[in-house]
Structure 1
Amino acid sequence: MDLVKETQRSVYATVGAAAWVMEAVRAIPDQMGQAWERRSQWMDRAGEAYDDLAGRGQAIMGGARQEVQDRVGQVGEAARRIPGVALAEEKMTGMVVDADQLPIADYDSLTVGEIVQKLRALSQRELQMVEGYERRQRARATVLHRIDELLAKSPRSAATT
């Protein structure tokens, strides 16, 4: 009898194991779907975290860039207080400025008379820009002479001479 009971028990165990395997196999699609959903949620979270980090980095870099620009401006202002630096800066600016950066629109298309008329309204820095550009491009004596006259009349010119 023990043999019969052991045989029955083995059969039942085999059927039970087969049932367990079948249940596990039937659950695989649901488990895969749940796993895929969890993966998607993790990917979304990772993407959000990445975006957050990128945003923080961008804010830091933007702040740093602004801080550098502010510091450069402060250094430039301090340097311009040193006698002669502002004048040298203006002369250098004029030597590298392009026509579209000049304070007189369409400069290259204007006549000497039109340019001379517009010079009086310019600041000393703008006069230096025009002077450097004019010397580099056409070196017209009338324009350069008028710029020299206006620069000579400036309070800074009087203080530096």
Structure 2
Amino acid sequence: MGLVKETQRSLYATVGAAAWTMDAMRAIPDQMGRAWQQRTQWMNRAGEAYDDLAERGQAIMGGARQEVQHQAGQVGEQARRIPGVARAERAMTGRVVDADQLPIADYDSLTAGEVVQRLQGLSQRELQKVAGYEKRHRARATVLNRIDELLAKSPTTTT
């Protein structure tokens, strides 16, 4: 009778293992669904954290850019006090400026008369930018002559 009992026990163990395997296999889709939801939640959290870091970095860089621009402006002002530097700067200003950096919007679409109307009130530095750009592109005498007149009126203003 020991052999029969062992055979039955072995059969029952096999059936039990098969049932356990089937239960485990039935649970796989639910487990996969939960795992996918958790993955989605983690991805969302990671994305939010990444966005937060990007915003913080942008704020830091914006502040640093403003500080650098401020410091560069101060250095430029000090350098202009050195004999000959201001004259060299006037000669170079505007030579490397693009139209979108000019103090007059849509510059390239304006006639000479329209540009001349917009020159009044510009600083000497802004006038120099326009003059350099104008010389490099269209060289309209009307515009350049008016800039020269305005620069002659306020030779010490460099802002």
Which has more radius of gyration? 1
**Considering only aligned residues, what root-mean-square deviation do their CA atoms show, in Å?**
4.0
Pick from 129, 146, 149 the counterpart of residue 147 of structure 1: 149
Q: Deviations over 1:39-90 (max 9, x none)?
A: 1122112222322332233233323322221121111111122244334433
TM-score by length of 2: 0.62
**Aligned residues of 2:93 and 2:132 also touching (Cα < 8 A):** yes
Structure 2 unaligned segments of length 5 or more: list them: none
| Aligned equivalent of 2:112 | 108
**Aligned residues of 1:99 and 1:108 also touching (Cα < 8 A):** no
Runs of 4 or more consecutive aligned structure 1 residues displaced over 4 Å after TM superposition: 94-103, 118-136, 153-156
Q: 1:133 to 1:25 in 2, by over 3 A?
A: closer
Q: Give the residue type in structure 1 aligned to 2:2.
A: D
How many residues in Structure 1 have an aligned counterpart in Structure 2? 144
Q: Give the residue type in structure 2 aligned to 1:147.
A: E
Matched, 1:47 2:53: no
Q: Bigger CA drift: 131-140 or 62-71?
A: 131-140
Q: 1:119 to 1:47 in 2, by over 3 A?
A: closer
Q: 1:108 to 1:84 in 2, by over 3 A?
A: same
Q: 1:5 to 1:108 in 2, by over 3 A?
A: same
Q: 1:126 to 1:17 in 2, by over 3 A?
A: closer
Q: In proportion to residue count, which structure has more helix?
A: 1
- Distance of 1:120 and 1:40 partners within structure 2: 60
* Aligned sequence identity (%): 69
